[in-house]
Amino acid sequence: MQAQIQALLAGGAGGREERREGGGVEVAKPQIFDGTSVKVGGFISAYKLYIRMRMRGETVKGQVQWMLSYIQGGSVDVWKKNIMKELESGEVEYKSAEEFLMSLRKEFGGGEEESVKAAELRKLEQGGRTMEEFIQEFKRAARGSGYERRPLVKEFK
């Protein structure tokens, strides 16, 4: 028993388990983004989470290049090539991964994402869900819909 205590103390954590950044927590790899405007919000959320959980120690440039590797297909390919050229030439330098993601949202989100969210919110009904399930779904749909305060309350049905 004494040997086990000594071993724990020698580990430097005083008997507590230390967790490294990104530790042993499993995080799903994000999906490929193809430039579809209604997918921008989900793409950005998934990448923010992944970067927080797995890439904190990575440079901003490394994070941006990693995200670019998941951006493929359709009209997004042209945008990606332009961004890569600008990064290589030094024309653009992102201060954070968030800044890169906001430029992506600006380019591909358009105003359509807000319109889609607003339409989804207007169609939302409780149906067979519990009140708690409905409230959570309503909150999710309300984010990014452009609705606030009274108009948002009017949509709650």
* pLDDT in the model for residue 75: 80
The pLDDT-based confidence of 80 (bands split at 50, 70, 90) is: very high
Neighbours of 55 (CB within 10 A): 18
Say if residue 72 is in the same domain as residue 46. Answer: yes
pLDDT at 56 exceeding the cut of 70: yes
Q: How far apart are CA 84 and CA 28, in angstroms?
A: 25
Say if residue 80 is in the same domain as residue 51. Answer: yes
Burial string for 118-142 (b: 16+ CB within 10 Å, else e) reads bebbeebeeeeeeeeebeebbeebb
The number of helices, as runs of H, and strands, as runs of E, in the chain is 8, 0
3 falls within a domain: no
Contacts of 148 (CB under 8 A, 6+ apart): none
Say if residue 101 is in the same domain as residue 137. Answer: no
First and final CA of the chain: distance in angstroms?
62
Say if residue 49 is in the same domain as residue 98. Answer: yes
Say if residue 50 is in the same domain as residue 97. Answer: yes
Range of the structural domain that residue 127 is part of: 112-155
- How much is the CA Rg of the chain, to the nearest whole Å? 22
Total domains present in the chain: 2
Q: How far apart are CA 56 and CA 20, in angstroms?
A: 11
Say if residue 85 is in the same domain as residue 53. Answer: yes
Q: How far apart are CA 79 and CA 104, in angstroms?
A: 9
127 falls within a domain: yes
7 falls within a domain: no
3-state secondary structure (DSSP) of residue 42: helix
71 falls within a domain: yes
Q: State if pTM tops 0.75.
A: no
The model's pLDDT over 87-98, given as tens digits with 9 standing for 90+, comes to 999 888 899 999
* pLDDT in the model for residue 64: 93
Do residues 126 and 138 make contact, with C-beta atoms less than 8 angstroms apart?
no
Q: 8-17, 61-70, 89-98: lowest mean pLDDT where?
A: 8-17
- The β-bridge partners of 71 are 33
The model's pLDDT over 15-54, given as tens digits with 9 standing for 90+, comes to 333 344 445 678 888 889 998 877 888 888 899 999 988 8
Q: How far apart are CA 75 and CA 3, in angstroms?
A: 63
The model's pLDDT over 112-147, given as tens digits with 9 standing for 90+, comes to 566 767 777 788 888 898 999 988 888 888 877 777
